[in-house]
Amino acid sequence: MPRAHPGPRGPERAPETNSLQVLAAAADNVDTPGEASGKKVQVDWSTNIGEHARSIEVVRFSRSLSASQQEILVVGEQTVFTLKDSGGIRLQKRLAEYGITACIAYKMPPESADALPNHNLILGTNTGHLLVLKEMQLMWCARLQGMVPVQICVDTLGSVRGMMVLMDCRGKLQVCYLGTDPPTASLVNTEMKELNYDDMEEEHQEICCESSGRPTEMVPRSRKRAWSSTRRCLKFWTWA
């Protein structure tokens, strides 16, 4: 995003963008104390997000961006926004059950040698949780031990990449490591046994007769086979 940067976070809860040329011209023409003349900073665009912004960064958060594109990542009090360079909202995700207290966008290793690195987002919440977002999808949630972070930093410590240094409002520091990627493969039952519906029906009838106090009356196997060949479901019939 050349010649543009996120502007101040004013009380109207709207991020603003000003060109660097306008800011430089305004800096050269400082108002004289007591005078009302002088250049005012012109706003290129303004977007109302409805809540106070805790962080504004220019990153590559969405995986669908081209090689020359970037976007503005705005983290509010309960919502995460991505804005286009024209100010329009590209994506947003509301975390109503969490209050965001800290955040950081960190670079991920590029997927290939010629690909540009993308960013993931780590959020700290007032419930003592760490949330890791890839685009707008929650990839990881971890509970902290007695800490509500107000600042997060990701760095390499002791040759271990991805270490997170957290600080709370009292200045307490905590170094955390989330571990490896969570397993995505589903569990597969390698021992498959075919159900014997005749034995299941016979056992069911015995249980029903014992519970009712009636003598056990067995059903001929020919009738049970006829039933089991036409109805392959766990449903049992008894004949009076």
In this prediction, residue 199 carries a pLDDT of: 83
In this prediction, residue 150 carries a pLDDT of: 94
In tens, the pLDDT along 57-115 reads: 888 888 888 877 888 899 999 999 989 888 888 889 998 888 899 999 988 887 777 77
Count CB atoms within 10 A of the CB of residue 77: 17
Cα separation of 184 and 175, whole Å?
26
Classify residue 126 as left (phi > 0), alpha (psi -120 to 50) or beta. alpha
Q: Average pLDDT for consecutive 10-residue bins of the chain (240 residues)? A: 46 62 58 57 82 89 82 90 87 87 88 81 92 89 90 88 90 82 57 73 82 59 48 46
What domains appear along the chain, each with residue ranges and CATH number?
4-32+39-176 (2.130.10.10), 197-230 (no CATH)
